[in-house]
Amino acid sequence: MSPDAFTPHVALAARLLPRLDAGDDGAHDLAHLLRVWRNAQAIAAVEGGAGDVLAAAVLLHDCVAVEKSSPLRAQASRLAADRARDILGDLGWPAERIEAVAHAIAAHSFSAGIAPASLEARVLQDADRLDAIGHIGIARCFYTGGRLGSALYDPWDIRAERRQLDDAHYALDHFRAKLLRLADGFQTGTGARMAAQRTQVIATFLAGFEQELG
């Protein structure tokens, strides 16, 4: 990916992109970074935030790859924050700005349960969560389900009316277990408005999917 995609922070992107662990997860690849960056730019254009801190946080927020099924999953953002500290320290960033980036990274994860205490952290969390909903979110949900070996849905109880939701075994359950609820936790007004639109996309898809199944 060209660093130009992260304009106006091209020089920073050129230094950080080679330090990333590419991995093999198509839901957390370079295309994901670019989508999160575009979301972050759209939110920051209204809400504000330090551009260099936000750009570094976006570029490094998944710099440690941890599989969704790993027992370390809840630690993934903290591990990424620690690595970001090392990377930015090598680049000579001052400690205060490094910690601003590290906090944003640590707080972006849903599973980490860390409250974002800065504007940049709130923007990054919203920008990353936007990529989990809408049309992209639908694609990522089924991609991840297939990657982890889950079925598309439970053919005997599609809506989980007589059982507990189980998104570890049925990809469709993830819509009700998590994705339809994500919009309620957005941190910025701009992000919340974008999330509401994308959540409607998911709701429409789910209704149509279930209608086809009867």
Burial readout 184-199 (b: 16 or more C-beta within 10 A, e: otherwise) = eebbbebbeebbeebb
**Residue carrying the six token digits 């790859």:** 65
Q: Provide the CATH topology of domain 132-214.
A: Hypothetical protein af1432 (1.10.3210)
The answer to whether residues 127 and 191 touch, using CB atoms and an 8 Å cutoff, is yes
What local confidence, expressed as pLDDT, does residue 67 receive?
67
What local confidence, expressed as pLDDT, does residue 200 receive?
97
Instruction: Name residue 50's amino acid.
Output: A
Mean pLDDT of successive 10-residue stretches along the chain, which has 214 residues: 88 91 76 94 96 96 75 77 94 96 92 88 96 96 93 95 95 96 95 97 96 90
Going from N- to C-terminal start, the domains of the chain cover: 1-114, 132-214
**Residue carrying the six token digits 């910025």:** 188
- Cα distances (Å, whole numbers) of residue 179 to 25, 168, 183, 206: 19, 14, 8, 11
> CA 98 to CA 141: how far, in whole Å?
32
Q: DSSP of 60-114, one letter per residue? A: HTT-S---TTSTTGGGHHHHHHHHHHHHHHHTT--HHHHHHHHHHHHHS-TTTTP
- Cα distances (Å, whole numbers) of residue 139 to 21, 35, 144, 145: 22, 14, 9, 10
What local confidence, expressed as pLDDT, does residue 173 receive?
96
What local confidence, expressed as pLDDT, does residue 126 receive?
97
Q: 83: phi > 0 → left, psi -120 to 50 → alpha, else beta; which?
A: alpha
What local confidence, expressed as pLDDT, does residue 73 receive?
66
